[in-house]
């Protein structure tokens, strides 16, 4: 821990889309929540020294560096926040844990089961010395999702029978959208399956409290080649005349069974024209149902099957009351929260767990379990067969 016992010095590796979201979270968490430790934005790291320095000035970090190894080695860094593409997660996380640093790692945990297993083993060794590790499945911290989890755990929907989950985007529906690292298996591990499918896998397991036991799925790549980017710009860059191969899936669809007996139907795609970030979860149980759509993220729909027919129907819950998860630290009722707030809640939960000496969730072991589901789906698609998920 840094010299001031109440401080938590953070070093962040990666400063693009996720780095900006994480930076906002580190800035805002201690200003809206009463934290036992105060995060300090000590250093941000990127491969290009000039761009890293610009990011530090823009995002609020005290210093910048171009070598993550120097960040991990610093005595004044207590926690390493990993916001890089998946191909570097394992190396950075394991080095940080072995150096005695707490770790927050973006999802999916790794690019392969073997890497995720090594990361989980490192996290378990580090935990014996009080070092904590957490994987960033941020959508768990959306208040409406956290409320859904609470209602399921209280038995409000009864025995869960059906789970439906979709993650729908359209940002590469145009076949001329340029190639990016997210479309290269070597860097990203997988496409829509790992990038966004991982989220709905985690969310459904989180809300139900059950794990996926076996899967049958299919992956599809609709556009096999794309223009190479000529300059870096956002997710995809500006297209040039040369073309490169797309080596990941564009879409994934699979069915699954859960430990509690429920049947799940899943879809993840970047080709749902008109859908920007639609995360749709529906849970059907013996006593009722829950439904959530991230494009209306402050709302949770609840159906109570025990109401009389005359008044039965889905009820729209505006999740902005102070009694709802996380909301009391923010605005008066009716004033909705946004995408960035879930990252702040992630920081709050992680910092509190570190202060309490408890295991933050989701753990690296949780991330490994999701990685095993992803691998089983890929194998199922390749072999056209049902695949069990190792426990």
For position 241, what pLDDT does the model report? 78
**CB of 182 within 8 A of CB of 191?**
yes
pLDDT score recorded for residue 249: 96
- The single-letter DSSP state of residue 390 is P
Specify burial of residue 273 (Cβ count, 10 A radius: 0-12, 13-18, 19+): exposed
Site of tokens 């390493």: 80
pTM score, two decimals?
0.94
Strand locations in 286-389 (E):
288-293, 299-304, 315-318, 387-388
pLDDT at 309: 93
User: Which residues of the chain are under the pLDDT cut of 50?
Assistant: 1-4, 232-234, 236
**Which of these, 104, 132, 143, lies nearest to 22 by C-alpha position?**
104
Q: What is the predicted pLDDT for the residue at 233?
A: 43
Question: How many other β-carbons are positioned within 10 Å of the β-carbon of residue 47?
Answer: 12
- In this structure, are strands 38-45 and 63-65 parallel, antiparallel, or unpaired? parallel
Question: If we measure between CA atoms, which residue out of 87, 82, 59 comes closest to residue 72?
Answer: 82
Sheet of strand 299-304: strand arrangement: 315-318, 299-304, 288-293, 278-285, 160-168, 263-269, 251-258, 212-220, 387-388
Q: Do residues 283 and 148 touch, judged by C-beta distance below 8 A?
A: yes
- Domains contained in the chain, CATH given: 7-136 (3.40.50.720), 140-337 (3.30.360.10)
Contact at 8 Å (CB) between 83 and 15?
yes
Closest C-alpha to 80, from 132, 5, 140, 17:
132
Q: How far apart are CA 61 and CA 54, in angstroms?
A: 10
pLDDT of residue 240: 61
**Which residues touch 368 (CB under 8 Å, ≥6 apart)?**
109, 113, 116, 117, 119, 120
């Amino acid at each position: 821990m840094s010299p001031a016992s109440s401080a938590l010095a953070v070093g962040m590796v990666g400063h693009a889309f996720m780095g900006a979201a994480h930076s906002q979270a580190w800035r805002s968490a201690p200003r809206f929540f009463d934290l036992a430790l105060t995060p300090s934005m000590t250093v941000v790291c990127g491969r290009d020294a000039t761009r890293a320095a610009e990011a530090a000035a823009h995002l609020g970090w005290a210093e910048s560096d171009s070598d993550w190894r120097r960040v991990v080695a610093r005595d004044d860094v207590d926690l390493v926040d990993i916001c890089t593409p998946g191909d570097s997660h394992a190396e950075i996380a394991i080095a940080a844990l072995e150096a005695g640093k707490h770790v927050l790692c973006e999802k999916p945990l790794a690019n392969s089961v073997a890497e995720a297993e090594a990361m989980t083993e490192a996290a378990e060794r580090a935990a014996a010395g009080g070092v904590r590790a957490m994987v960033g499945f941020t959508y768990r911290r959306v208040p409406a999702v956290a409320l859904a989890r609470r209602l399921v755990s209280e038995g409000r929907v009864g025995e869960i029978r059906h789970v439906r989950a979709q993650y729908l985007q359209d940002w590469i529906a145009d076949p001329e959208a340029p190639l990016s690292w997210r479309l290269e298996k070597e860097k990203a591990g997988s496409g829509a399956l790992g990038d966004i499918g991982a989220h709905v896998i985690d969310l459904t397991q989180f809300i139900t409290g059950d794990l996926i036991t076996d899967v049958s799925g299919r992956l599809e790549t609709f556009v096999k080649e794309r223009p190479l980017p000529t300059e870096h710009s956002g997710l995809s860059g500006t297209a040039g005349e040369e073309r490169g191969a797309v080596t990941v899936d564009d879409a994934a669809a699979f069915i699954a069974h859960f430990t509690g007996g429920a049947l799940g139907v899943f879809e993840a795609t970047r080709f749902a024209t008109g859908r920007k970030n639609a995360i749709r979860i529906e849970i059907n149980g013996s006593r009722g149902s829950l439904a959530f759509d991230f494009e209306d993220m402050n709302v949770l729909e609840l159906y109570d099957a025990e109401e009389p027919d005359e008044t039965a129907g889905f009820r729209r819950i505006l999740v902005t009351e102070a009694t709802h998860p996380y909301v009391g630290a923010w605005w008066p009722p009716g004033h909705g929260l946004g995408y960035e707030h879930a990252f702040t809640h992630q920081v709050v939960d992680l910092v509190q767990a570190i202060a309490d000496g408890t295991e933050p969730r989701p753990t690296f072991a949780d991330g490994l379990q999701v990685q095993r589901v992803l691998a089983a789906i890929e194998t199922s698609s390749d072999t056209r067969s049902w695949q069990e998920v190792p426990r």
